[in-house]
Structure 1
Amino acid sequence: MTARTWPRRPCPETTGSRYDYELASAAQLRTMRAGLRDWLPAVTSDPDLLDELLLTLDELASNGLRHGLPPVRVSVASSADDLLLAVSDAAPECAPEPATGRDPAQGGMGLNLVADLSVACGWDVHDGRKHVWACLSRG
């Protein structure tokens, strides 16, 4: 897995079906995942995509809780080709920083993993919130 930068660029627009959830603590991650599993059959039946989506969303949401400020807002939106995962938090001054030069056994490799799974990723600040996003290919 190679370290990548997270470019600052706006989140892509989507008009498809969406799943939204707000987290105040890590204890809510389980409920978020359960709701996402209920929503996903409407947009995909691919079990591999489901696994990648849950892993990606878990990494981004837990980073928002750990390094940002609550509330952490999670959104998954469907488009014709991709699933867009966006997580926002109330710490716009804290840019996402993928770990570099660190032994993976020390942790902190989540953003690199998300970048490897994504066809596009980035972050931006608007409305006083940091928005970190990744697109997973549906094809």
Structure 2
Amino acid sequence: MTRGTAGPAWPSASPPPAGDGLSWELSDVAELPRVRDELRRSHVAPGSPDVRDRLVLVLDEMASNALRHGGGAVEAVVRHTGDAFLVAVSDGAAGTPPTPAVDRDPSEGGLGLYLIAELSTAHGWYADDGTKTVWAVLPPR
């Protein structure tokens, strides 16, 4: 799972168009419990608890990565794409692509990007105006 190169795992690509949803401006990982709670209680992800749990997990992994390894202001969003959900997190580290852990013992962590890729139907990242955005599309079921 952590062997090989990280290049193809997170392609440089734009996300699909998305509509309404939730957004958060974040500055510290201590804010993530509140964000997880707000997402669980929102109407953005109606339906099964499993869908909400996946959205919370993906948002939490992306946001904690941005807060720990990114730079500048961090913005996180969860939006509808029509038939799925878009989770996107932006930070100020435009020159640093998402890099899945390679050759690391799983007990040391660093498997979040692999997990997000497994849970999503599409994922990628792009840089624009000094901001990097990492995104994933999750199915509604």
Name the TM-score, length of structure 1 as normaliser.
Answer: 0.91
Match of 1:32 in 2: 35
Alpha carbons of structure 1 residues 2 and 117: separation in structure 2 relative to 1, 3 Å:
farther
Structure 1 runs (4+) deviating above 3 angstroms are: 1-4
In 1, Cα distance between equivalents of 2:11 and 2:84: 19
Which one of the candidate residues 20, 24, 33 is aligned to 1:21?
Answer: 24
Match of 1:111 in 2: 113
Q: Unpaired runs of 5+ in structure 2?
A: none
In 2, Cα distance between equivalents of 1:8 and 1:42: 27
Is residue 86–residue 131 contact of structure 1 (8 Å, CA) maintained in 2? yes
How far apart are residue 127 of structure 1 and its match?
A: 2.6
In 1, Cα distance between equivalents of 2:67 and 2:44: 28
Is residue 23–residue 70 contact of structure 1 (8 Å, CA) maintained in 2? no
Which one of the candidate residues 16, 25, 48 is aligned to 1:12?
Answer: 16
Alpha carbons of structure 1 residues 94 and 132: separation in structure 2 relative to 1, 3 Å:
same
How far apart are residue 126 of structure 1 and its match?
A: 1.1
How far apart are residue 38 of structure 1 and its match?
A: 2.5
Match of 1:84 in 2: 86
Is residue 64–residue 88 contact of structure 1 (8 Å, CA) maintained in 2? yes
What code does the residue aligned with 1:114 have? I
Which one of the candidate residues 132, 135, 138 is aligned to 1:136?
Answer: 138
RMSD: 1.5
Q: Unpaired runs of 5+ in structure 1?
A: none
Aligned residues: 137
Is residue 11–residue 131 contact of structure 1 (8 Å, CA) maintained in 2? no
In 1, Cα distance between equivalents of 2:111 and 2:98: 12
